[in-house]
Amino acid sequence: MRFKLLTATAAVAVLASGSAYAQSANLTIWSWNVAASALKSTLPGFNKQFPDIKITVEDLGNSQVFDKTLAACAAGGDGLPDIVTIENFEAEIFWSRFPDCFANLKELGYTADIQAKFPEFKRTELEVGDVAYAMPWDSGPVAVFYRRDFYEKAGVDPSTINTWDDFIAAGKKISAANPGTVMAQADFNGDSEWFRMIANEQGCGYYSADGQNITINQPACVSSLQKVKEMKDAGTLTAANWDEKIQANTAGKAASQLYGGWYEGTVRSTSPDLKGKWGVYKMPSLTADGPHAANLGGSSLAISATSANKEAAWKFVNYALGTNEGQVTMLKEFGLVPSLLSAVQDPFVNEPQPYWGGQKVWADILATLPKIVPSRGTAFQSDAEAIFKATQTKFFSGGYPDAKAALDDAANQIASATGLPIAQ
């Protein structure tokens, strides 16, 4: 495969020259849905600084961006736009299969000082050795979104919910005081969300931090899966997919939802009539002195190696993702949670939010960013995900004697599928 790579020497030469190439360009970005709209919201601010860099954001849909990017990389980069939105969950699939498909951002101006503006957990999946393939965009610091009125009717103070056992006990009170309302919901059939959130909180995941070993059957993961089953068996968690959760929120049938911070925009936009009735609190932990931070979701921006306008593309990426102005614009307009640590200090982040009963929800949610433990997706994320979901279904239906047996089986299946060793 042949790619037009910009060497470090060439990058320095272009920066020093201040050439028209660096200031005048027509760029195309592939993205999807709210992410595409959020990028468009940054264009007025960007063009005030760079009026000669014209940008077209193409909203192709999530699966289309993934499929088209994978096909283009397989074709040597032909057909790629200048900038591609990459979901962190799938990022390492691209880097491992096509290491020359995207430019090394370090050669375009992504200095150590800029890298330090982002938490380690967001960079883990985007960098390989000395190569930075993408810049972190939004993140998903996990929080509990809850109905203030339902909790108050049951006499439950969310600040007293410190452990998942506390969450179960509170759920029983809330459901009793609000007939027909469940404490929370999980997509047990189509997703691994609850397991991944709690496991990440406990510092465990499908793979080790270096991506070289399978760790899904380590003690922290076993404890996480066991706790999810306990919540299911107690009736604290009931099965619901994405659309069913939104319907339950609007209909007042769910007292809580556990998700990444980006869910704020989902609640606010799909249940506008419930203004003032929702709040946010930190996710519980397995033990009284345990951690209370995890991540679910998030994306990044990568610059294609075949782009003829890499420097101009870098200017946009650095503006949209590397400045408070760019990141907070997307937070205000579309609820995309910044990965940029300095955004925590932005005045908007510390403002009371009317929809959320005057709570400073962004300050509360973003405060957990530096505490999140990195979790590798690796090139084999889809293998592990498919195997775990089948294992979870079997475990919940009584197919394994305990969580350890279930995850030992999952680890063996992942090892067979990937060739990676199981950590001892």
Boundaries of every domain in the chain: 8-140+297-350, 141-295+360-371
pLDDT, tens digit (0-9, with 9 covering 90-100), for 290-332: 999 999 988 999 999 999 999 999 999 999 999 999 999 999 8
Per-residue pLDDT at 17 exceeds 80: no
Average pLDDT for 243-247? 95
Per-residue pLDDT at 96 exceeds 70: yes
Per-residue pLDDT at 333 exceeds 90: no
Residue pair 183/376 in contact (Cβ under 8 Å)? The answer is: no
Residue 3: band (very low, low, confident or very high) from pLDDT cuts 50, 70, 90: very low
184 phi, psi to nearest 5 deg: -160, 170
Measured CA to CA, the distance from residue 80 to residue 346 in angstroms comes to 35
Select from 68, 67, 65 the least CA-distant residue to 78: 68
- The DSSP-derived string for 181-245 is -BSEEE-TTT--HHHHHHHHHTT--SB-TTSSSB-TTSHHHHHHHHHHHHHHHTTSEEE--HHHH
Could you give the C-alpha distances from 255 to 151, 228, 240, in angstroms and in order? Answer: 7, 17, 14
What are the tokens at 418?
Answer: 């990937």
Q: Which 8-state DSSP code applies to residue 422? A: B
The structure's pTM equals 0.84
142 versus 6: which is more confidently predicted? 142
Q: Between helices 193-201 and 219-233, what is the axis angle to 10°?
A: 130
Average pLDDT for 406-421? 97
Residue 2: band (very low, low, confident or very high) from pLDDT cuts 50, 70, 90: very low
Matching fold, domains 8-140+297-350 and 141-295+360-371? yes
Instruction: Please compute Rg for the chain using Cα positions.
Output: 22
pLDDT, tens digit (0-9, with 9 covering 90-100), for 44-71: 999 999 999 999 999 998 889 999 999 9
Looking at the domain covering 8-140+297-350, what would its CATH class be? alpha beta
Residue 60, number of CB atoms within 10 A of its CB: 18
Measured CA to CA, the distance from residue 367 to residue 238 in angstroms comes to 29
β-pair partners for 353: 359
Residue 335: band (very low, low, confident or very high) from pLDDT cuts 50, 70, 90: confident
Chain mean position to CA 365: 13
What are the tokens at 238?
Answer: 């009931």
Host H or E run for residue 296: strand 295-303
Q: Which 8-state DSSP code applies to residue 83? A: E
Q: Which 8-state DSSP code applies to residue 260? A: E
279 phi, psi to nearest 5 deg: -145, 180
Residue 20: band (very low, low, confident or very high) from pLDDT cuts 50, 70, 90: very low
Could you give the C-alpha distances from 387 to 122, 133, 135, 267, in angstroms and in order? Answer: 25, 28, 30, 31
**Apex 263 CA angle, 123 and 403, nearest 5:** 75
pLDDT at 122: 87
Measured CA to CA, the distance from residue 171 to residue 113 in angstroms comes to 45
Per-residue pLDDT at 92 exceeds 50: yes
For the domain spanning 141-295+360-371, the CATH number is 3.40.190.10
- The DSSP-derived string for 306-338 is T-S-HHHHHHHHHHHHHSHHHHHHHHHHH-PPB
Residue pair 283/195 in contact (Cβ under 8 Å)? The answer is: no
Q: Percentage of residues in the chain with pLDDT exceeding 90?
A: 76
pLDDT at 244: 96
314: amino acid identity, one letter: W
Report helix, strand or coil for 358: coil
Q: Which residue bears the tokens 């959760």?
A: 245
